[in-house]
Structure 1
Amino acid sequence: MAMTDLLKAEEIKKALEAFAGETFDPKKFFEMVGMKAMSAENVKKVFQVLDVDGSGFIEEEELKFVLKGFSKEGRDLTDSETTAFLKAADKDGDGKIGIDEFEIMVHE
């Protein structure tokens, strides 16, 4: 499944442009692409697209490239952005983001 099957391409583009040069804020980004208004089920479909290795988790290495999961034009996150994103979403402290943690973060 492609991200554009779940989200509008123009909203993805606008959100990526908004964070092209400024510090990445995952909650603001998810709101801009329309995920905050999505059902939990559809947010979990987005998670599955971002979970590149299909492990059921988004690990730190995958998180670095999360914006590329939305569009190939997306930039890599910096190490500090990746760490901040992980810290904000990883509720159980296991060093990775599970599907339920991801959905909770999007809807917070």
Structure 2
Amino acid sequence: MSNREVGALSSGEAFDLLRNPYRRRLVMTLLDHNPEDEASIPGDLTTDDEELEEMLIAMAHTHLPKLESLDIIEWNREKNVVTRGPAFDELRPLLELIDRHQDELPDGWL
């Protein structure tokens, strides 16, 4: 866990986090995810094995560290498990708004 103060997530940081489709899908999955259920990568995020490999590399080297540095997630690298972090609830209202209105969003936004 970082030394970051919970409650310090700015609107700019929140929108920046959600700008990337991989990060957006991950945090949207954590919104309703039961930690006891096995999670899988949504099929519509990748089209082939090469793209899947690129996405996994980007997640491990860019997206998960960014979310972890802001305390949105906690990431157990040994077990490759991601759970909600202490600052996840700062992002929750925006995620719930997106979730409630996803049918109204343009194609490709989620």
Give TM-score scaled by structure 1 length: 0.33
TM score, norm. by length of structure 2: 0.33
Bigger relative contact order (CA 8 A; separation at least 6): 2
